[in-house]
Each structure stands twice: as structure tokens, then as C-alpha cells.
Amino acid sequence: MTGTLINALAIIAGSSIGMLCGTKISEKYKTIFFQAIGLFTLLLGIKMALDMSSPLLIVISLVLGGFLGMKLQLSAKTEQLGDYLKAKFKSANNRFTEGLITSFLLFCMGSMAIVGAMEEGLGHSSDLLLTKSVMDFFSSLILATTLGVSVLLAFIPLLLFQGGITLIVSLAGENIPQEMISGLTTIGGILLIGLGLTLLQIKKIDIINMLPSLLFICLAVWLQGIWYLVVGI
């Protein structure tokens, strides 16, 4: 968990500095930053999605995950949570909830987050997460100049997400199939493409409702492994 804890501290430090500097940066510079982040996120998502190895499982996972997310009203409940936290922190920023969602997806859906947390869970080096911590420090710093304290709060879901992956992998050991890692990376990339389109204001994608897709791809790969075992492939 060392890499994830350092990652969380980097986000807290970066966003704290960003909030202090926010009033000194003009809107035109903030706009160009979000355009740059949107383009980078879009490119990163495409790069991750190109790693796709099982298109059928990916499509099924996205559809079922989206249906489950809508059924559970994840997007609406996230909005409610954002409004609650905004009131608790007495924030006047009307982009508070957007900041929480954007930061979570940007910090947690990348390949470095997924693969880095897995490497740490397997007892390997934390170098990937330490490198990610440096990147997240600067990203959170600039994000917080516009989105405020909601960027800082993203360290909580990051701890739960990355820490959860590390814990699960540490318990499962070397038994996690490469297809599952590839599937998680692909789904994460597709979600980042959606985030990039949203940041660039091309099309608002309901990404939060698609988060259960990450669970469905794990289930799909596991069931596929059992099927291959049964039929002797």
C-alpha cells in the first residue's frame, strides 16, 4: 500500500497548492489547460483501448455495466454526494461535483493506476505508482486552481480503488489471468475516452453509470476461463 499512500499524499499536496494559486490564474489559461487535459485524456484512453483482446467481452461488460449503473442510479447518487460534500465544505464552486468525478476518473482509470496497484499487490516494485504520484501531483495542482477542494477529496476514492486492487491481488497472488488485466485496462481506456469527450465539451458521457463494467469484465473473464476448462480448450 506504500505506493497508493504516497499517491494520495501527492494529490493532497498538489491540490492544496493549486487552491492557494487558483485566484492568481486567469480564466483563459484555465480554459487552455482543460483543453490540453481533455486532448491528453482522449489520447491516453485510445492508447489503452487499443490493447483490446476480447472485443465481445468488452462490449457485453460495457452494456451490462451501463444497465446496472443506471438501475443503481450511480450518477444521480454521485451528484447527491457531491452536493452533500459541497454543503459540508461550504464551497461556492459550482463545478464541485464535476471536479470530484473528473479527478477520480483521471487519477484512477489510467493503466498506471490499475497495473501499478496490481504490481504492488504481487509484492513487486512500487515504482509505477511512485511515478504516477509525481504526475498526479502536478495534475491535481492545476485542476484544483479551477475545481477547488473537490480535487483534494479525490484522494479518498483513490485510496479505496487502488488500495482495493492491491489488497485483492495480494490475496489472489499470481492467479489473476493476463486477460483480466487487459480487460480492465481496455475498459478503463474507454471510460477515459468518454471523460476526454466530456472535458472537451464534445459530448457529455454518463461515465459514472458505466463503472460497474469493471466488475463485469472480471466476471466475464473468470466465466470464460471456467468454460475453457470444462470444454478442454
* DSSP sequence for the chain: -HHHHHHHHHHHHHHHHHHHHGGGS-HHHHHHHHHHHHHHHHHHHHHHHTT-S-HHHHHHHHHHHHHHHHHHTHHHHHHHHHHHHHHHTT---TTHHHHHHHHHHHHHSSHHHHHHHHHHHTT---HHHHHHHHHHHHHHHHHHHHHTHHHHTTHHHHHHHHHHHHHHHHHHGGGS-HHHHHHHHHHHHHHHHHHHHHHTTS-----GGGTTHHHHHHHHHHHHHHHHHHHT-
Note the pLDDT of residue 23.
Answer: 64
Instruction: Report whether pLDDT(173) > 80.
Output: no
> Which amino acid is located at 190 in the chain?
I
Instruction: Give the Cα separation of 34 and 54 in Å (integer).
Output: 33
Percent of the chain with pLDDT over 70: 97
Instruction: Report whether pLDDT(168) > 90.
Output: no
What mean pLDDT do residues 87-116 have? 83
Note the pLDDT of residue 102.
Answer: 87
Instruction: Report whether pLDDT(88) > 90.
Output: no
Quick: pLDDT tens for 183-205.
Answer: 888 998 899 899 889 888 888 88
162: exposed, middle or buried (C-beta count within 10 Å: 0-12, 13-18, 19+)?
A: buried
Give pTM, 2 decimals: 0.82
Percent of the chain with pLDDT over 90: 24
Instruction: Report whether pLDDT(233) > 60.
Output: no
Confidence of residue 114 (pLDDT cuts 50, 70, 90): confident
Residue with cell 501499478: 116
Quick: pLDDT tens for 141-157.
Answer: 888 888 889 999 999 98
Which of 121, 104, 213, 210 is closest to 161 using CA atoms? 104
Note the pLDDT of residue 174.
Answer: 67
> Which amino acid is located at 156 in the chain?
I
Measured distance between the N- and C-terminal CA atoms of the chain, rounded to whole angstroms: 37
Instruction: Give the Cα separation of 31 and 53 in Å (integer).
Output: 36
Which of 143, 137, 127 is closest to 195 using CA atoms? 143
